[in-house]
Structure 1
């Protein structure tokens, strides 16, 4: 009697254990249209500061990736092979004076056709903070200085005028500077751009005659018109209620946007036409605090730096992206 009881208990425990196991090993299929088939392309070592923060796709389909705390820029092949391109000099104190975070980190990234890279650096140091230029095979050079109080983040190049636009997340300013370098000028500033706790303006893109920026703390996507004389028009809120909207990318020529919601651990498809949004990727798909993304053809690349997800490995996730028109 007692033996069969013990056996039954063991058996039910084993079944419960198997059920729990099958729950954990089933492939998570949380990806929602238009995203599908997510998989991890690269996993990083958080301990060595390799937290992927920003990305551009090169014409030959490789990724140029900024690793935030290690202040490195590397190339990642479509198959996940990594190659170091450059390292920025680190502040001796680790960047303790970097506003909001207290550690130095490399941030925004722009690439020109000749392979030259422009990298934002929030270093908490007057001699390091700003925009750095890295020519192919060359040494990094700071060409646009910013003060210790600045937190340069998202960046975009207006190829027509040769000007860089730079989101300064702690000072609530969009800077503008010639890509050749020099002192930047404040192009736009004010309440729309300011932080309300940690970081304000963050991701930045040029699109259809306007500068678009996310405000991380305010959870908003803003469109700032470029007026005929090149100055900033009034900011227009195109979507709100987007928890910790970090970086974003336009879907083709449309105004639709794919955005990373960092602390929410989601990627959302945002429709500025009516301000609506839907979640297309989550932590179940492998996101670990997504910071930025790139869309090339029907491939979506999402970088997770795991700043806010303590138990996660930073990674690059890739997924298929089915382009459709939103009506």
Structure 2
């Protein structure tokens, strides 16, 4: 996501220009209720239940398989008492019966954390706060053993919760750090995460880069590698693994969904779709990418183009699982 406190920066002007120049897009997908929801994260179950979180209210909505509407899974409300402060990255863990949520928090009373919510009724099962209060949990991924990884957009680090510790209240621990991940005050650094074949991939929104961090057999992080792309990304945000092993990435600064085809630590970028309204991230389900139009560039002025939408982008069969 994009940090609310920098909405008046030169980046906002560039973002606004990009929105104005983008071609119109097929608006098929889901409509979200409310004028102040400002969606950010999205995830799905295997049977097609969708969960969408609000960066504005902390609410999380659920849309069951075959349903035509979203129901409240976790309510928002008064920041002093609400269960989730800001719902960024979401990740379904059906084996554990948990919906994992990156809660950006509201320091100092509500530090950033990875929350585990029951998939049955949304109550909080477990909480993994970040070690320091000046932090921002932004996105999540999970490895083959079930360990969780969370990006910190305010600091140059990725945190980890071991598989055996997931359902125990304990702090998330710093798993990887790199000076190249530093972020300027008022900006967002590390953002979207994805796991593929023993590696965690991470994008850096401010630096427009993609990194690969290998996972050792002991569960520690190897030395991070900057993936050499044939062109820089444009404020990358959400990232997912396609069925063919390529990476699909939202470029929030260009309102588009792109594909990174990797050969070792080199990659070629191609555009899959353009014309989204302030996209943040997406989920892969059936034959499509379901792209969240968060419109976070309108958080300050409170003038989004309503209604908020999840836009369905049908993909080539090689990119999605059957």
TM-score > 0.5 by shorter chain: yes
In structure 2, C-alpha distance between the alignment counterparts of 1:89 and 1:183, rounded to whole Å: 26
Structure 1 80/194 Cα, relative in aligned 2: closer, same or farther at 3 Å?
A: farther
1:175-224 CA distances to partner (integer Å, 9 max, x unpaired)? 11231231121111122323245111111111100111111111111110
How many residues are treated as equivalent by the alignment? 277
Indicate conservation of the 8 Å contact 1:44/1:51, yes or no: no
Compare 38-47 and 236-245 and name the one that shifted more.
Answer: 38-47
> 1:5 aligns to what?
none
DSSP 3-state at the match of 1:81: coil
Match for 1:121 among 92, 97, 103?
Answer: 103
> 2:12 aligns to what?
none
Are residues 1:87 and 2:75 paired? Answer: yes
In structure 1, C-alpha distance between the alignment counterparts of 2:296 and 2:31, rounded to whole Å: 14
In structure 1, C-alpha distance between the alignment counterparts of 2:201 and 2:44, rounded to whole Å: 20
Matches within 5 A, 1:162-311: 162-177=146-161, 178-180=165-167, 181-196=169-184, 198-238=187-227, 239=229, 241-254=232-245, 256-273=246-263, 274-283=266-275, 287-308=276-297, 311=304
Structure 1 residue 250, shift from structure 2 partner: 1.1
Structure 1 29/215 Cα, relative in aligned 2: closer, same or farther at 3 Å?
A: closer
DSSP 3-state at the match of 1:308: helix
Indicate conservation of the 8 Å contact 1:195/1:216, yes or no: no
Compare 299-308 and 173-182 and name the one that shifted more.
Answer: 173-182
In structure 1, C-alpha distance between the alignment counterparts of 2:273 and 2:141, rounded to whole Å: 25
Indicate conservation of the 8 Å contact 1:224/1:232, yes or no: yes
Quote the RMSD (CA, aligned, Å): 2.6
* TM-score after normalising by structure 2: 0.78
Bigger CA radius of gyration: 1
> 2:87 aligns to what?
106
DSSP 3-state at the match of 2:123: coil
Indicate conservation of the 8 Å contact 1:86/1:140, yes or no: no
Unmatched runs of 5 consecutive residues or more in structure 1: 1-27, 32-37, 95-103
In structure 2, C-alpha distance between the alignment counterparts of 1:137 and 1:159, rounded to whole Å: 26
Indicate conservation of the 8 Å contact 1:300/1:320, yes or no: yes
* TM-score after normalising by structure 1: 0.77
Structure 1 260/155 Cα, relative in aligned 2: closer, same or farther at 3 Å?
A: same
Structure 1 residue 311, shift from structure 2 partner: 4.7
Structure 1 residue 76, shift from structure 2 partner: 2.3
Indicate conservation of the 8 Å contact 2:23/2:274, yes or no: no
